[in-house]
């Protein structure tokens, strides 16, 4: 592994960790960084696989922060119907993305992974997030573990929009939850919970399809990106809920619009 590849892996891992749980689209940021900053590897297929596999670092970041809560829920399953309802709700929310993602995996990676779509999705998603943040319905759900089962399912279908790079998995989940009456903190927290099976599923599926093509160098590059994503992801997970409770999502909406607009301008000038 050469120094340039190692540095690219670390920078892209930091991008992944900082943006995965923010409603700004980690995949979109990775694609734009690769396209405009040259932070890509020689093999285009490896670029896309790298972007998915380093998500394991972000998964471990959220598991580390939520381990105690997760353990409490697991231990309560035999006796607490609320714990069972929550686990069933998370699995129900995960299933639409799992099924649709598996069916459209080739189309998503082969057609939708391009900078123009990312820029448009960033801008449109930013405008939607801005409107929902300002004009969201009156909050009636304040605990992410106590949503009605039907609400979990609807949020799961909203998450499917994030298969378009630039939409943002957390952004689609948060907007869907807020439109159904969740407060900002609960909406953000449920996006964390839903990230666990969703990202783990995407990681396992991509690894299963591509593990035979990975050599020692490829594994090393992914390992560096994984560590960088883990460390940066910990900072975001620990600080995001407190921030959105006080300030909302407007800053992330404007960031999306700024990045998407800059990307469109750069595409128009440079191609």
Q: How many CB atoms lie within 10 A of CB 135?
A: 7
Dihedral sign computed on CA atoms, order 223, 229, 231, 233: negative
| pLDDT at residue 186, rounded to an integer | 94
Grade residue 1 by pLDDT with cuts at 50, 70 and 90. Answer: low
| pLDDT at residue 214, rounded to an integer | 66
Please give the residue that has the higher pLDDT: either 42 or 186. Answer: 186
* 203 contacts 59 by C-beta, under 8 angstroms: yes
Burial 192-201 (b: 16+ CB within 10 A, else e): bbbbbbbbeb
pTM of the predicted structure, to 2 decimals: 0.85
Average pLDDT score over residue span 59-63: 87
Per-residue pLDDT of 145-175, as tens digits, reads 999 999 999 999 999 998 898 999 999 999 9
Q: How many residues does the chain have?
A: 271
| pLDDT at residue 4, rounded to an integer | 76
Nearest to 156 by CA among 208, 121, 201: 201
Which residue in the block uniquely carries the two structure tokens 């069972």?
A: 84
Q: Kindly report the CA angle at 183 between 177 and 187, in degrees rounded to 5?
A: 40
Grade residue 44 by pLDDT with cuts at 50, 70 and 90. Answer: low
Please give the residue that has the higher pLDDT: either 72 or 106. Answer: 72
Q: Which residues pair with 182 in a beta bridge?
A: 141
| Distance separating alpha carbons of residues 48 and 233, to the nearest angstrom | 20
| pLDDT at residue 27, rounded to an integer | 83
Average pLDDT, the chain: 87
| Distance separating alpha carbons of residues 57 and 129, to the nearest angstrom | 26
| pLDDT at residue 172, rounded to an integer | 94
The distance from CA 38 to its chain's CA centroid, rounded to whole angstroms, is 22
Per-residue pLDDT of 5-39, as tens digits, reads 788 888 888 888 888 889 999 888 888 887 787 76
Grade residue 189 by pLDDT with cuts at 50, 70 and 90. Answer: very high
Average pLDDT score over residue span 59-82: 91
| pLDDT at residue 253, rounded to an integer | 95
Find all residues with CB under 8 Å of 192, minimum gap 6, and list them.
21, 62, 66, 237
Q: Which residues pair with 194 in a beta bridge?
A: none
Per-residue pLDDT of 98-138, as tens digits, reads 888 888 877 887 778 888 999 999 999 999 999 999 887 78
| pLDDT at residue 267, rounded to an integer | 92
Dihedral sign computed on CA atoms, order 11, 14, 18, 20: positive
Per-residue pLDDT of 210-246, as tens digits, reads 766 666 677 788 888 889 989 998 988 888 888 888 8
Q: Which residues pair with 141 in a beta bridge?
A: 182
- Write out the two tokens for 130: 């801005």
* 254 contacts 39 by C-beta, under 8 angstroms: no
| pLDDT at residue 41, rounded to an integer | 62
Nearest 10 degrees: CA dihedral of 114, 61, 204, 55? Answer: 20
Average pLDDT score over residue span 183-209: 86
């Amino acid at each position: 592994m050469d120094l340039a590849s190692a540095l690219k892996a670390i920078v892209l891992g930091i991008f992944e960790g900082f943006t995965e749980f923010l409603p700004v689209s980690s995949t979109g940021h990775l694609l734009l960084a690769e396209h405009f900053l040259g932070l890509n590897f020689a093999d285009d297929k490896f670029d896309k696989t790298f972007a998915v596999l380093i998500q394991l670092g972000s998964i471990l970041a959220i598991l580390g922060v939520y381990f105690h809560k997760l353990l409490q829920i697991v231990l309560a399953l035999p006796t607490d119907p609320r714990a069972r309802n929550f686990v069933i709700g998370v699995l129900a929310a995960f299933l639409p993305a799992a099924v649709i993602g598996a069916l459209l995996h080739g189309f998503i990676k082969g057609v939708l992974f391009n900078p123009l779509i990312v820029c448009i999705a960033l801008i449109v998603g930013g405008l939607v997030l801005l409107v929902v943040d300002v004009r969201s319905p009156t909050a009636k759900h304040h605990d992410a573990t106590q949503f009605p089962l039907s609400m979990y399912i609807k949020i799961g279908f909203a998450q499917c929009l994030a298969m378009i790079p630039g939409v943002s998995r957390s952004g689609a989940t948060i907007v869907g939850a807020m439109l159904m009456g969740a407060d900002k903190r609960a909406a953000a927290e449920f996006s964390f919970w839903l990230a666990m099976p969703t990202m783990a599923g995407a990681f396992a599926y991509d690894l299963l399809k591509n593990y035979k093509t990975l050599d020692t160098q490829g594994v090393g590059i992914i390992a560096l990106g994984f560590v960088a994503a883990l460390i940066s992801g910990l900072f975001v997970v620990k600080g995001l809920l407190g921030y959105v409770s006080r300030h909302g999502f407007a800053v992330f909406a404007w960031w999306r619009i700024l990045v998407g607009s800059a990307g469109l301008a750069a595409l128009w000038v440079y191609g």
